[in-house]
Each structure stands twice: as C-alpha cells, then as structure tokens.
Amino acid sequence: MTSVLLIYPFFKPRCDRSVFRFPPLGISYIASSLQKAGHAVHLIDCTFMDKKDALKQALDIKAEVVGIYGMVSMLDECVWFAQQLRSSCLLLVAGGPLPTCDPEPFLKYFDVVVRGEGEQTMLELLRAFEEESDPSHIAGIVFRSDAGWPAKGRLISTPEREFSMELDRIPFPARTLLPNESYIRYGRKKYGFSITTVMSTRGCPFRCEFCSNVVFGGSYRERSTQNVVDEIEEALALGYDRISFADDVFTMKKKRVINVCREIQRRGLHFAWECLGRVDALDYETALEMKAAGCTRIFFGIESGSDQILQLMNKKITTDEARQSVQAAHQAGLQVGAFFILCYPGDTDDTVLKTLHYATSLPLDYIGLSMPYPLPGTKLYERTKDRISRDWHPEDSPFGSHVLIFDSDFSGTKMWFGIFKGHAQFEIKKRLGKLSPMLLPLFEKTTDAVFRFLK
C-alpha cells in the first residue's frame, strides 16, 4: 500500500487577531478513509508549528504521495509546501475550496487537483497511482495528460463526482493523527475550555452571494442521529470539554435537531456545545430543546441590517426574522452571536450605519464584523472580479484578517473605522448596562458623522 502525507498548511498570521482554532475535519476525513483502505497515512496540522519544523517533519516522512489543503487564506503556504516537497515525493495532490473552484493555477505546482469531496476520489487516485493506470476515468479530478505518470501535458478535467448520500458509511475523522493535546491546551488557555468540531450534515441548499460552498456544492445531506452522537462520544473521549458543530446550518431541520438533542440526553452525556444556525430555521421550542441537551451558544449569519442589502446578498431572510430568532434563542437561555458584513457592494453610508445600529440593538453576546471578500466560486466574485486589485495577505494589514482586496466604493480606512465603530457600540452597550442608553446615542451620533465624512 502507498505511503501518504496530508498537510493542513495553516500558520498563525503575524497580525492575526482571531482566537478561534479548530482541527481540520476535511483532511481528517480523507485520512481515515485512506487508513481504512490500508494505506500508511501521516497528517501534519501546522496550526501550532512553525514552517521550519513543519517542513522538516514532512521531509522526514518520505511519503510517496503528498496531499495539501488549499484555500484563499492558505494559498501561499500551500504552494510553498508543494515547491519544497516536489523532488521528495512521486505524486503531489491539491484539494480544498480554492483548488476545487480554480484548479488550473495549482497545476503549475501539483500533479493532480481533487475537486469537491475527496474521500472516494483519493482512494481511486491512489489505486491508479499504484497500478500506473490512466486516471482519466476518475471523477472529480483535474490533471495534465501525457506519457507517464505524473503527467505534464494538456489539461484534462474529468466529470464532477456525485456526492456521497450515505454519510454514515464514511469513517469518522482520523482524530488520533491530530495534535489534540495542543488544541486542548490552547482552548483552555484562551477560552477556559477545550473544544473540537463535529460535522453532522454536509452542505447547504441556500445560495448566498458571498458564500463559498464549492466543496459541497448545493447539496444538503444528513448523518443519522446515532452516527453523530457516536462520533461525539469518540471526540469527548480524547479529552475535549465541548463540541462545536461545523455544519453550515445545524438547525436546518427542526425534527433532526430535536432527535440529536434527545439522543444526547438519552445516553446521559453532559457536555457543552455550540452551532451555526439560520434565523429562519430556529424557534423558541427548538432552542429550549437545544439548551436542555447542553447547547450554550448559537451563531447566526445575519450579515446586514438592511432588507434591501439582504435581498442583494440573496440571503433569503429578513431583519424581522433575524430579530425574532435572536430573541427566541436569548430567551431560551442561549448565548447568541451574529456575523455582519460591512460595506458590501451595493451598500451606502445609510445602509452601513443602519446595519451597525441594528446589530447593536439585538440581545447579542458576540458580534463579528468583517469586510466583504469576493471568494473565487461565488457570485460576489463574478460581480467584482474586474475590480479585484490584490491578493489576500493579512500580514499587510494592521487589522489582522481584514484586508480590502477589490476597488470598492468604500476605502479600506472607512471599512476599518466601521468595524471599530461597531465593536465599540457593542462594548458600550454590553459593559455600561444602565448607562448605555445615555452614552450610546451620543457615541453613535458622533461616529456616524465621522463615518460619513470618510471616503
């Protein structure tokens, strides 16, 4: 069988302000599928490593096949690893969101790009590699065909692979290959608890304009309740305190959510968990069930306080729905977080300020504010691609991951000020309590004027 190395090339950016660190589920799923087939699998998660040590470890493994995860925020590191490992392995494979939607540039450095879900594709690719057979019959890959393997000739893109509908048959992620102790120490130091992820569904049927959902496409598939809770037990046994459901929309179907909650209770499991939800897919009764099963907080992608901008984003929600769901979750005793995009293409000064006022009027415990990012594979990218003026390099920004990469009607400075203003309004309301009704309007009025003045 083949020796395989999978690399998750995340290194902490110099100006990174995010405290969130979660194990990479995608390559962990691929690792477990390859292990089940008998391959010798190694996994390097670079989250807590420096480049020198990660490269030394990768070279020491001497794997025949190397697969590297790629996305916009890790593009440079993905390519760097490929360049460094080119001469030490026989087959270089790229996978993940960015290679899926824009494979051709990766073939300057890689032999094959795996598009979409990679478990079955990688199994078939390794079989072809071992047999030195023509890989053109393998669905879901892009490569260059010529005599020999790996190939260097003309570009061949095989048909898309159909999504796996029987998720229970996919082995659980190979968590024992991950640096669990590092994640546990980090979590307890940063948050006071350790937390890992579980994905109980795959995909999202909605088509938000800015959302990159290229790996799972427009699919939505569920695992059985028993299968999900079995994995939860396995993850908790590694020493984690909490679970974060990594589903795009955990609350998609009320009956499924309630079934998972009741299975957790039936097994007598006591742990805290959190999830992402849509505001049109949560009511008070479901929130109560979630709370009773250990849910401590839920995050919503609301994105705007303007119904006009929500329509432009194709969010398929309204600000009234968002307020009702946030209040329902809050009243059920859940902590509530919400994400908003400021200065979206189509926004005006009025709609941005409306969003900030709306966001800080909600009973939130956490607020996330960001600039718009036209990610390849999204309709927002298609709408703005002629205006994209730079690559995404967070180290160039004094504000960590907030980087303006396209020519917008709003300057980067104005966007940064809007983000600062929103966080400040949120903190004033949260920390000053009864004094905030007096101080917040004054702060808003003053900073509104500054925001309008900025270009």
pLDDT, tens only, 180-211 = 999 999 999 999 999 999 999 999 999 999 99
Is the pLDDT at 332 greater than 60? The verdict is: yes
| Terminal C-alpha separation, the chain | 60
349-408 tens-digit pLDDT = 999 999 999 999 999 999 999 999 998 889 999 999 888 876 666 555 555 556 777 889
The pLDDT of 229-245, averaged and rounded, is 98
pLDDT band at 213 (very low <50, low <70, confident <90, very high): confident
Report the C-alpha gap between 298 and 103 in whole angstroms.
34
Contact 242, 193 (CB under 8 A): yes
Same domain, 213 and 360: yes
Same domain, 220 and 103: no
Same domain, 255 and 385: yes
Same domain, 204 and 112: no
Phi/psi-derived region of residue 316, left when phi > 0, alpha when psi is between -120 and 50, beta in every other case: left
Report the C-alpha gap between 124 and 143 in whole angstroms.
14
Q: Which of 56, 109, 60, 69 is nearest to 86 (CA)?
A: 109
Is the pLDDT at 109 greater than 70? The verdict is: yes
Residue 144's DSSP bridge partners are 155
In a domain, 174, yes or no: no
Tokens matching residue 360: 């800080």
In a domain, 168, yes or no: no
In a domain, 281, yes or no: yes
The total number of structural domains that make up the chain: 2
Residue 147, pLDDT score: 47
Q: Which domain holds residue 70?
A: 3-157
Report the C-alpha gap between 227 and 263 in whole angstroms.
11
Prediction pTM value: 0.92
44-80 tens-digit pLDDT = 999 999 999 999 999 999 999 999 999 988 999 999 9
Work out the percent of the chain whose per-residue pLDDT is above 90.
Answer: 83
Q: In this structure, how many other beta carbons lie within 10 angstroms of the beta carbon of residue 184?
A: 18
pLDDT, mean over the chain: 93
Same domain, 208 and 85: no
Beta pairing, strands 272-277 & 295-303: parallel
Same domain, 247 and 301: yes
In a domain, 445, yes or no: yes
Tokens matching residue 193: 């608890």
Contact 408, 344 (CB under 8 A): no
Residue at 299: amino acid letter: F
Same domain, 441 and 298: yes
Cα–Cα distances (Å) from 117 to 48, 100, 140, 170, 219, in that order, read: 26, 9, 8, 11, 11
Same domain, 415 and 306: yes
In a domain, 167, yes or no: no
What CATH number is given to the structural domain containing 62?
Answer: 3.40.50.280
In a domain, 287, yes or no: yes
Is the pLDDT at 255 greater than 60? The verdict is: yes
Cβ neighbours of residue 48 under 8 Å, at least 6 residues apart? 179, 182, 186
